[in-house]
Amino acid sequence: MHVFVTGASGWIGSAVTAELLAAGHEVTGLARSAESAAAISAAGAAAHRGSLDDLESLRAGARAADAVIHLGFKHDFSDMPGAWRTERAVVETFLSALEGSDRPFLLASGVAGLTPGRAVTERDANPSHGPDGMRGGAENLALEHADRGVRSVSLRFAPTVHGEGDRGFVATLAGVARSTGVAGYVGDGSARWPAVHRLDAAHLVRLALEGAPAGTVVHAVAEEGIATRQIAEALGRGLDLPTRSIDPADVDGHFGWIGRFFALDIPASSALTRDLLGWEPTHAGLLGDLAAGYYTDAE
């Protein structure tokens, strides 16, 4: 298949690009800068210059491809409403370009906050609808197009898609530990985070592209829930810092913006995904990657 990938230069998208190319697919990646275009070309894919704000560039990319995988996102945590507005407009654009074609449209989503108090499964609907919802309500918008001639698939990633070179949430927590001198966890540290290795996630995205029916939700989750206290302890060991509980009232002050995420208990299951697509994660778990020093060795 010829696949148009947004975010092809990003953390997950670059692994997905490599996975697709290795399996014999053709990839065109959206590139908003010369640097991103160079990275995409170096990976062996074609670069399509444009941006998430240039909807015509997205329409052209979708029209020329057999499938679209949307992994681009504005990770500006100071302006999440802006990122969500963009997400909504981008997904609307792709859906209108693909409607009636039966072509696959895979989009990134997350597992956080969907079913407070219990592990979220693929059958649990996302409560966010409409443009003002989380991530612009884009997941539901896409899934609603399953009966309008789009093979839409939601890719719900664990909040930590980890591996060597990760600059995401766990790397941010390592930065907080370095600057405060403490590897902290919130309260009793029993809140759990699911996790998936980046290469396992990329493999799952390919399986979903090739075989998931219209309207499927897949969970890129290898580990259902790791206690945040264990994550903090591993950071403390790697950085040679003490590990200690942070009072929930002091979370913002201690951790900054990442604190409210680290306080969340958000276990997630992937049993249905494994059954449907035969996906079996084979790479290291999060604590293994922490023990390998990927988050704590000197930069």
Ligand X SMILES: NC(=O)c1ccc[n+]([C@@H]2O[C@H](COP(=O)([O-])OP(=O)(O)OC[C@H]3O[C@@H](n4cnc5c(N)ncnc54)[C@H](OP(=O)(O)O)[C@@H]3O)[C@@H](O)[C@H]2O)c1
208 binds ligand X (CB under 6 A): no
Among 22, 23, 41, 53, binds ligand X (CB under 6 A): 53
What is the closest distance, in whole angstroms, from the C-beta atom of residue 66 to ligand X in the complex? 21
Site for ligand X in 132-171 (CB under 6 A): 157, 159-161, 168
Q: Take residue 206 and report the two structure tokens written for it.
A: 């390919």
Q: Which helix (H) or strand (E) holds 224?
A: strand 223-227
Among 3, 4, 7, 246, binds ligand X (CB under 6 A): 7
Could you tell me how many helices (H) and strands (E) the chain has, helices first?
12, 12
What is the closest distance, in whole angstroms, from the C-beta atom of residue 13 to ligand X in the complex? 5
Among 13, 104, 194, 281, binds ligand X (CB under 6 A): 13
DSSP string, 67-102: EEEE------TT-HHHHHHHHHHHHHHHHHHHTTS-
Nearer to ligand X, 35 or 132 (CB): 35
What is the closest distance, in whole angstroms, from the C-beta atom of residue 246 to ligand X in the complex? 22
Among 36, 128, 243, 269, binds ligand X (CB under 6 A): 36
User: Closest Cα to residue 299, out of 197, 203, 152, 171?
Assistant: 171
131 binds ligand X (CB under 6 A): no
Which span (11-19, 121-129, 180-188, 288-296) binds ligand X, by CB under 6 A? 11-19
What is the closest distance, in whole angstroms, from the C-beta atom of residue 242 to ligand X in the complex? 27
Q: Please tell me whether residue 279 adopts helix, strand or coil conformation.
A: coil
68 binds ligand X (CB under 6 A): no
What is the closest distance, in whole angstroms, from the C-beta atom of residue 31 to ligand X in the complex? 7
Among 3, 10, 281, 295, binds ligand X (CB under 6 A): 10
Nearer to ligand X, 11 or 241 (CB): 11
CA-CA distance, 139 to 125, in Å (whole number)? Answer: 10
Q: Which helix (H) or strand (E) holds 66?
A: none
Q: Pick left, alpha or beta for residue 44 (phi over 0 → left; psi -120 to 50 → alpha; otherwise beta).
A: left
Among 22, 34, 64, 75, binds ligand X (CB under 6 A): 75
Q: Pick left, alpha or beta for residue 222 (phi over 0 → left; psi -120 to 50 → alpha; otherwise beta).
A: alpha
For the chain, the 3-state helix, strand and coil shares in percent, each to the nearest 5, are 45, 20, 35
83 binds ligand X (CB under 6 A): no
Q: Which residue has the closest beta carbon to ligand X?
A: 10
Amino acid in position 69:
I
Q: Please tell me whether residue 262 adopts helix, strand or coil conformation.
A: helix
Question: How many residues sit close enough to ligand X to count as binding (CB under 6 A)?
Answer: 25
User: Closest Cα to residue 139, out of 131, 190, 236?
Assistant: 131
Among 108, 191, 235, 290, binds ligand X (CB under 6 A): 108
The footprint of ligand X (CB under 6 A) covers 7, 9-13, 30, 32-33, 36, 51-53, 71-75, 108, 110, 157, 159-161, 168
